[in-house]
A = this chain, B = another copy of it.
């Protein structure tokens, strides 16, 4: 039924970029990086592959204040992010207490199918100076 994705040059290139990056980056930034690397990939394809990876939970996605979607290859398991607004540098943080708190609040008010978003934004030490 559900066919396995094909192993194309473009898919490999996008995955390789994500391996090398350590912070969040937008689809367009990734598209530019690929071009500068000589591994040119169509913008549509970059979007498609990022979305596919995000759907299969292989990478994390979040939206910044400007409404752009940023992507990053993260460790597996549920976690949140402390992200530098300026350079994208990211620290993964776990907050087990928060998870439980959110779920209990939601249950308390009769909400089902609950999800939550939690991101911390700031300026990292390097970028502040």
Q: Are B122's CB and A111's CB within 8 A? A: yes
| A84 touches which of B84, B93, B111, B116 (Cβ 8 Å) | B111
In the complex the two chains form, what is the Cα distance from A113 to B84 in whole Å?
Answer: 10
Q: Are B111's CB and A115's CB within 8 A? A: no
Please name all residues of chain B whose beta carbon is closer than 8 Å to the beta carbon of A53 when the two chains form the complex. none
Count this chain's copies in the assembly. 2
Is A63 on the interface with B (CB-CB < 8 A)?
yes
Q: Are B128's CB and A112's CB within 8 A? A: yes
Please name all residues of chain B whose beta carbon is closer than 8 Å to the beta carbon of A109 when the two chains form the complex. 82, 91, 124-125
A76 nearest CB across to chain B (Å): 20
Is A102 on the interface with B (CB-CB < 8 A)?
yes
Interface residues of A in 93-117 (CB under 8 A from B): 93, 95, 97-98, 101-102, 105-106, 109-117
